[in-house]
Amino acid sequence: MKSFTYERPGTPAEAAAAVARTPNAKFIAGGTNLLDLMKLQIETPTHLVDVNGLGLDKVEPTPEGGLRIGALVRNTDLAADARVRKDYGVLSRALLAGASGQLRNKATTAGNLLQRTRCPYFYDTAQACNKRQPGSGCSAIDGVSRQLAVIGASETCIATYPGDMAVAMRVLDATVETVDAKGATRKIPVADFHRLPADKPELDTILKAGELITAVTLPKPVAGTHIYRKVRDRASYAYALVSVAAVIGKDGTGHVAFGGVAPRPWRVEAAEADLPRGAKAVTDKVFAGAKPTEDNAYKLKLAERTLGAVLTEARA
């Protein structure tokens, strides 16, 4: 880990300004992913702006009937929030399926959105990785890729977004709110928040330098059965091989997003009309154009069968 200076600003705008004016600065909130990466020198900030004191730790109702989740709300608190549990069960379930109790106590809403890939080649600084070191190549494409992306990847990178929370937010049509150094705010649909790698896999999201996430808003609740189904080799404390976030109505219509398959939460709205026809009709469309490796081709079948199980559960 390289040396860094450290400060704790008092307001979101000050925090954004601090990162914007200091070269190679980063925000730190929960720190559970950033420090992990800093220890391996995958991330090498020389200045850390601690945002934990900014007061962005509340879950509040919005005038539109939704919820505004402060960027610093811890995963545990968000999952346990009575309104989230009652009206956005898929989000609560996704959070609880992720990481461990200790990590959820520390990890924040914004930080979880920014969680970087778990690709093993990204994590080994001796290996070629375009995401970690642009232009160095990709060892994963002809390496061990059982965990990696089957769709949305590129010639330069087949890393997956590893998180669970964002998959639920994707199916809930959440919006990410930010502030920049000048105090300007913007609202980014979570659908647009994570980038596909194309030729710039080093950029995980569309955030600009110094842009600080302040909140995530959820629109008013969608009726239906909320299900988050995470499939993994061991029963807990593991990243998804495939996950399905779904809100399914009584008539079998609904919304569905997939995790563990792509560089971002993967949702194809156009396929959702086929939900009443069953899982295969949906996944055939959702995964049209998928380019799996030999190691991870199983994810296509797994996604179909997992969605099938989700639809069975929703009917029950």
Partner 1 sequence: MKFDTPAGTNPIDRLKVVGKATDRIDGPFKTTGTAPYANDWHDPQAKLAYGVVVGATIAKGRIASMDLGAAKAAPGVVAIVTADNAGKLGKGKLNTAKLLGGPEIEHYHQAVAVVVAETFEQARAAAALVKVKYTATEGAFDLASVKDGAKDPGDVQGSPSSSSVGDFAGAFASAPVKLDESYETPDHAHAMMEPHASVASWDGDKVTVWTSNQMIAWGTRDLALTLDVPQEKVRMVSPFIGGGFGGKLFLRSEALLAALGARAAGRAVKVALTRPQMFNNTTHRPATLQRIRIGATPDGKITAIGHESWSGDLPEGGPEAAVLQTRLLYAAPNRMTALRLVVLDLPEGNAMRAPGEAPGLMALEVAMDEMAEKLGIDPVRFREINDTQVDPEKPERAFSQRSLVACLRQGAERFGWDKRGKPGQVRDGRWLVGMGMASAFRNNMVLKSAARVRLDGKGMVIVETDMTDIGNGSYTIIGQTAAEMMGVTLDKVIVRLGDSDFPVSSGSGGQFGANSSTSGVYAACMKLREAVAGKLGFNSADAVFEDGQVRSGNRNVPLAQAATGGDIVAEDAIEFGDLDKTHQQSTFGGHFVEVGVDVATAEIRVRRMLAVCASGRILNPKSARSQVIGGMTMGVGAALMEELAVDTKRGYFVNHDLAGYEVPVHADIPHQEVIFLDEVDPMSSPMKAKGVGELGICGVGAAVANAVYNATGLRVRDYPITLDKLLNRMPDAA
Partner 2 sequence: MVAASATAALAAVPSAAGAAPAGTDKPVLAKVGFTVNGERRELELDTRTSLLDAVREHLHLTGAKKGCDHGQCGACTMIVDGRRINSCLTLAVMHQDASVMTIEGLGKPGDLHPMQAAFVKHDGYQCGFCTPGQICSSVAVIAEIKSGIPSHVSADLNGTYEVTDAEIRERMSGNICRCGAYSNIVEAITEVAGKQA
Q: Burial level of 64, CB count in 10 A (0-12/13-18/19+)?
A: exposed
Among 106, 123, 203, 276, binds partner 1 (CB under 8 A): 123
Instruction: Give the one entry of partner 1, partner 2, none that residue 133 binds, where binding means its C-beta sits below a cut-off of 5 to 8 angstroms depending on kind.
Output: none
The tokens for 250 are 């009584």
Instruction: Give the one entry of partner 2, partner 1, none that residue 126 binds, where binding means its C-beta sits below a cut-off of 5 to 8 angstroms depending on kind.
Output: partner 1
DSSP secondary structure letter of residue 108: B
Q: Please report, as residue ranges, which positions from 144 to 163 form the binding site for partner 1 (by CB under 8 A).
A: 144, 146
What is the nearest approach in angstroms of partner 1 to the Cβ of residue 168? Answer: 19
Task: State which residue, 11 or 312, has the beta carbon closest to partner 1.
Answer: 312
Burial 265-303 (b: 16+ CB within 10 A, else e): bbbbeebbebbeeebeebbeebbeebebbeebeebbebb
Among 58, 62, 64, 101, binds partner 2 (CB under 8 A): 101
Instruction: Give the one entry of partner 1, partner 2, none that residue 268 binds, where binding means its C-beta sits below a cut-off of 5 to 8 angstroms depending on kind.
Output: none
Which secondary structure element, helix H or strand E, spans residue 259, and what is its range?
strand 254-259
Helix, coil or strand: residue 107? coil
Q: Are strands 225-231 and 212-218 parallel, antiparallel or unpaired?
A: unpaired
What is the nearest approach in angstroms of partner 2 to the Cβ of residue 140? Answer: 20
What is the nearest approach in angstroms of partner 1 to the Cβ of residue 227? Answer: 13
What is the nearest approach in angstroms of partner 1 to the Cβ of residue 38? Answer: 10
Work out the end-to-end distance of the chain between its first and last CA atoms, rounded to an integer number of angstroms.
Answer: 51
Among 23, 63, 135, 142, binds partner 1 (CB under 8 A): 142
Q: Please report, as residue ranges, which positions from 100 to 119 form the binding site for partner 1 (by CB under 8 A).
A: 118
What is the nearest approach in angstroms of partner 1 to the Cβ of residue 229? Answer: 8
What is the nearest approach in angstroms of partner 1 to the Cβ of residue 127? Answer: 7
Task: State which residue, 126 or 270, has the beta carbon closest to partner 2.
Answer: 126
Alpha carbon dihedral 218, 219, 221, 225, in 10-degree steps, equals -70
Among 27, 88, 121, 266, binds partner 1 (CB under 8 A): 121
50 binding partner 2? (CB under 8 A) = yes
Q: Are strands 212-218 and 67-70 parallel, antiparallel or unpaired?
A: antiparallel
Helix/strand/coil percentages in the chain, nearest 5: 30, 20, 50
79 binding partner 2? (CB under 8 A) = yes
Q: Please report, as residue ranges, which positions from 211 to 240 form the binding site for partner 2 (by CB under 8 A).
A: 235-237
Please report which residue ranges of the chain form alpha helices under DSSP H. Answer: 12-21, 34-39, 75-80, 82-87, 89-96, 101-106, 109-113, 165-171, 190-193, 279-286, 298-315
Q: Please tell me the number of Cα atoms within 13 Å of 90 on its side-chain side.
A: 33
Binding mask 194-233 for partner 1 (x = CB under 8 A): -------------------------------------xxx
Which residues would be at the binding site for partner 2 (CB under 8 A)? 1-10, 22-24, 28, 30-32, 35-36, 39, 46-48, 50, 52-55, 57, 72, 76, 79-80, 82, 85-86, 89, 92-93, 96-97, 99-103, 105-106, 235-237
